[in-house]
Amino acid sequence: MLNSHNEWSPLKEVIVGSSFNYNTPEIELSFQLFYTEEATKNNFYVHPHFSRGDEKDAEKKQILQKNLQIARDSSRKYLAELAEDIEEFADTLAKAGVKVHRPLPLQKVERYKTPYWEAIGIPALNIRDQAIIIGNEIIETAPILRARYFENDLLKPIFYEYFRDNARWSCMPRPMMTDKSFDLSDVEEGFVSRPWEDVEAQKSSPFDIGYEMMIDAAQCIRLGRDILVNVSTQNHELGYQWLERHLAPHYRLHRIFRMTDGHIDSMFLPLRPGTLLARNPDVVKMLPLPLQKWDVIYPPEPKDNIFPEYEMGDLLLTSKYIDLNVLSLDENTVVVNSLFPELIQTLEKRGFAVVPVRHRHRRIFGGGFHCFSLDTVRESTLEDYFG
């Protein structure tokens, strides 16, 4: 029976994502806005699309299409290794006694079309992003990336299985996602730099209704009755308000304003009551006061040699801190990337048992073990850790 209240109680059932038929999303408006911060940090000198020359529009379009194909070809080179690492992750969880569910594979890469835009679909790989389990309820959040609009359909057989077993199931209103639906304020106000030349080229549509709620479940961290939500745009704010009203009065939501431009599970994660894994002290200062009193584990600085060497055209979608994206099996046991031995040693020194699993191309495919998994059953009850 569906039951998960936090990030650390004993894990009994989990969904692990699939990379089958992965295809790099198109570099269109929603992609540009979603990856603005990491694109600025990682790719400005790596990916040819980020050059800011004075080419004419037609020439720019040709360069963009060429570089997009380079990115897709590069991703395919690493797909076999990604699939190996995900299967090792799923097998490791099963050997630990966890029941592992898998989404439907994406049978065919197709372009789909709504009345407002077109996109090429991708598989349910980072499944934490668009669904969150709150107690005995599945909540599907409103997508941010157009390419992921129908992604959760691949999870429906599993969700229906839990629904038949008495789980609740709710979905945020689905956005139309016209260009004018997106709030550009975090780019315009300088919270993140703008690597994309055309990010402000929003086209008008007869379907424009103003900003719409668009927020990923991976912007939320669960701590029993308290749920932390990162908000950096008006799209996120509307999603926050929906969650707050939907979950009241049983849950307290805490708005964290612009800790990052999106997901926060590579910024910090609670490992057990009283202990946090956090990127740096500045992150902890942004947390609610009760959490600032918890014991904090700071990871060692990741070295370049723990990542593969990539070529011009390889599009890096995450920061070098992606390996903080760990998955807790219980209050004392954590799944960690085996390619970051310094983090393993740090956690072991603090009394944690570490289960090492290899994950090579985490910067290319945009996720770690927390992203790749959705814990549906943890041996947990609803508790107040802030009291």
Query: Is 19 among the domain residues?
Result: yes
146-192 pLDDT, tens per residue?
999 999 999 999 999 999 999 999 999 999 999 999 998 877 676 76
Give the pLDDT score at 32: 81
pLDDT of the residue at 44? 42
Note whether residue 308 is domain-resident.
yes
So what's the pLDDT on residue 47? 44
pLDDT tens per residue, range 32-46: 888 776 655 665 434
Q: Is the pLDDT of residue 334 over 70?
A: yes
In the predicted structure, residue 95 carries a pLDDT above the cut 80: yes
Domain that holds residue 189: 11-378
% of the chain residues with pLDDT over 90:
73
Q: Residue 22: inside a domain, yes or no?
A: yes
SS (H, E, C) the chain: CCEECECCCCEEEEEECCCCCCCCCCCCHHHHHHCHHHHHHHHCCCCHHHCCCCCCHHHHHHHHHHHHHHHHHHHHHHHHHHHHHHHHHHHHHHHCCCEEECCCCCCCCCEEECCCCEEECCCCCCHHHHEEEEECEEEECCCCCHHHCCHHHHHHHHHHHHHHCCCEEEECCCCCCCHHHCCCHHHHCCCCCCCCCCCCCCCCCCCCCCCCCCCCHHHEEEEECEEEEEECCHHHHHHHHHHHHHHCCCCEEEEEECCCCCCCCCCEEEEECCEEEECCHHHHHCCCHHHHCCEEECCCCCCHHHCCCCCCCCCCCCCCCHHHCCEEEECCEEEEECCCHHHHHHHHHCCCEEEEECCCCHHHHCCCCCCCEEEEEECCCCCECCC
Q: In the structure, what pLDDT confidence band is assigned to residue 51 with cuts at 50, 70 and 90?
A: very low
pTM (two decimals): 0.91
Question: Any idea what the CATH number is for the domain that residue 223 is in?
Answer: 3.75.10.10
Give a yes or no: residue 149 inside a domain.
Answer: yes
Mean pLDDT over the full length of the chain? 89
Residue 256, domain member (yes or no): yes
With respect to residue 5, please indicate whether it lies within any of the assigned structural domains. Answer: no
- Position 4 in a domain: no
**Least-confidence region, from 62-71, 100-109, 296-305, 325-334:** 62-71
The number of folded domains in the chain is 1
Taking only the tens place, the pLDDT of each residue in 314-330 is: 778 888 999 999 999 99
Q: Has residue 129 been placed in a domain?
A: yes
pLDDT of residue 54: 41
